[in-house]
């Protein structure tokens, strides 16, 4: 067991006192960094980068060399699971992910294989253990997966979507087949996250990027129910420490109480939510992660600093907040603005933790 030099992130996730608010960024290893673009070029394409544990480790560490991030996130993608199920994932330049096969019938669902994580996704586990070794206890490593609903949308649509017409028609017309698919995915995600934890992930995040396109009723039945099932099946202690779980439903602001009742440790917030109001609603039960609008990183250093200050003030004093963006950083942000963001969080948050750590 290595001792962590910086455990601020893990402490804030469970509401323990910290000296300053921890910060990391969704998509912190990505195209806004020239060194990321160089490594991706070396790998040839995005999936080859994901499938090389050494190169995935390299890009995971790149943002940590530039900025004082309080956590590293495994470099991979949520679509590794459908890829391992044989759906034929590929990325066409500038168009996002695509699948050669789509799921459109109950028979298609039945034909999806049950995954054997070490055999089918061993490259991800190798990346996790390689990154843990290279981090050498500097900061904790976050593992992740997509939510069953979010994975299902890509598998049914065959790509990203604006209106989710196929996924929603499938849900309304063939609810039984949809539940069968979500159940299969929930089992795969549980095993996948537990394998990441066994390989060294110290916290895990479930990305429910498209839960927010559902009605309240459908969200509970087709997205949240399966995330709850996953949380109930996760390893919650490893290496003598609690393994926190973060649930992030983009556009889930209406359902914070339901999400907090899922037995997760932390609820991820997008930027549409007032973090002070969110704290009043669920802050007794869970910690909060978020929630700066990523597009503020296009603004001036003074504006970035002011917005960081506003969010810290809205959250207020005490622990239980992990600073992050409300969604992933965009590819054309100036890397220098990210430095301003991270430094502002650390500097401006100290006053809210005085006498507490």
Task: Reply yes or no on whether 154 is catalytic.
Answer: yes
Looking at beta carbons only, is 153 or 344 nearer to ligand CP3?
153
Task: Reply yes or no on whether 65 is catalytic.
Answer: no
- Phi, psi for residue 28 in degrees, rounded to 5: -65, -25
Going by C-alpha positions, the residue among 125, 6, 115, 24 that lies closest to residue 67 is: 24
Count of all residues that appear for the chain in the document? 357
CB of 110 to ligand CP3, least distance (A): 25
One of 27, 37, 187, 313 is an active-site residue; which one? Answer: 27
CB of 328 to ligand CP3, least distance (A): 4
- Rule CB under 6 A: which residues touch ligand CP3? 26-31, 40, 46, 73, 75, 77-79, 96-97, 144, 160, 207, 209, 328
65 torsion bin: left (phi>0), alpha (psi -120 to 50), beta (else): alpha
CB of 14 to ligand CP3, least distance (A): 22
Q: Is 187 helix (H, G, I), strand (E, B) or coil?
A: helix
Q: What is the distance between the alpha carbons of residues 244 and 14, in angstroms, rounded to a whole number?
A: 7
One of 31, 37, 236, 313 is an active-site residue; which one? Answer: 31
- Pair 141, 6: CB distance under 8 Å: no
Q: What is the distance between the alpha carbons of residues 255 and 202, in angstroms, rounded to a whole number?
A: 27
One of 32, 36, 67, 154 is an active-site residue; which one? Answer: 154
Looking at beta carbons only, is 9 or 75 nearer to ligand CP3?
75
Task: Reply yes or no on whether 77 is catalytic.
Answer: yes
Task: Reply yes or no on whether 31 is catalytic.
Answer: yes
One of 19, 37, 40, 350 is an active-site residue; which one? Answer: 40
Looking at beta carbons only, is 28 or 319 nearer to ligand CP3?
28
Helices and strands (H, E) in the chain, number of each type: 17, 11
CB of 13 to ligand CP3, least distance (A): 17
Burial class (CB in 10 A: 0-12, 13-18, 19+), 162: exposed
Q: Is 146 helix (H, G, I), strand (E, B) or coil?
A: strand
CB of 181 to ligand CP3, least distance (A): 17
Looking at beta carbons only, is 170 or 207 nearer to ligand CP3?
207
Residue nearest to ligand CP3 (CB): 209
Looking at beta carbons only, is 73 or 348 nearer to ligand CP3?
73
One of 19, 37, 66, 77 is an active-site residue; which one? Answer: 77
Integer-rounded Cα Rg, in Å, for the chain is: 19
Q: What is the distance between the alpha carbons of residues 91 and 301, in angstroms, rounded to a whole number?
A: 34
Residues classed as catalytic: 27, 31, 40, 77, 154
């Amino acid at each position: 067991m290595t001792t962590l030099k910086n455990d601020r992130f893990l402490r804030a996730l469970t509401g323990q006192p910290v000296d300053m608010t921890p910060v990391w960024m969704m998509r912190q290893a990505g195209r806004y960094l020239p060194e990321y673009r160089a490594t991706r070029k070396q790998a040839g394409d995005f999936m080859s980068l994901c499938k090389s544990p050494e190169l995935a480790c390299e890009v995971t560490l790149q943002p940590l060399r530039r900025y004082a991030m309080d956590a590293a996130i495994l470099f991979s993608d949520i679509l590794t699971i459908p890829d391992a199920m044989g759906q034929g994932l590929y990325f066409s330049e500038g168009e996002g992910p695509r699948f050669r096969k789509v799921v459109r019938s109950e028979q298609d669902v039945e034909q999806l294989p049950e995954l054997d994580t070490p055999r089918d996704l061993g490259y991800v586990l190798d990346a996790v253990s390689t990154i843990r070794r290279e981090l050498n206890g500097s900061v904790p490593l976050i593992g992740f997966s997509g939510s069953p609903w979010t994975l299902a949308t890509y598998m049914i649509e065959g790509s990203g979507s604006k209106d989710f017409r196929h996924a929603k028609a499938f849900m309304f017309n063939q609810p039984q087949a949809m539940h069968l698919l979500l159940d299969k995915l929930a089992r795969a995600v549980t095993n996948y996250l537990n394998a990441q934890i066994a390989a060294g992930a110290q916290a895990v995040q479930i990305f429910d990027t498209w839960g927010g396109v559902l009605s309240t009723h459908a969200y509970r039945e087709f997205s949240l129910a399966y995330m709850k099932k996953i949380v109930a099946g996760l390893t919650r202690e490893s290496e003598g420490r609690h393994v926190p779980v973060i649930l992030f439903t983009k556009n889930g602001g209406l359902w914070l109480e339901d999400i907090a009742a899922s037995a997760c440790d932390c609820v991820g917030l997008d930027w549409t939510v007032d973090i002070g109001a969110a704290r009043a609603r669920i802050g007794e039960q869970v910690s909060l992660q978020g929630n700066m609008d990523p597009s503020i990183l296009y603004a001036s250093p003074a504006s970035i600093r002011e917005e960081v200050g506003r969010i810290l003030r809205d959250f207020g004093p005490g622990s239980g907040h992990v600073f992050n963006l409300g969604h992933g950083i965009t590819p054309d942000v100036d890397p220098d603005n990210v430095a301003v963001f991270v430094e502002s969080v650390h500097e401006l948050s100290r006053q809210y933790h005085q006498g507490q750590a």
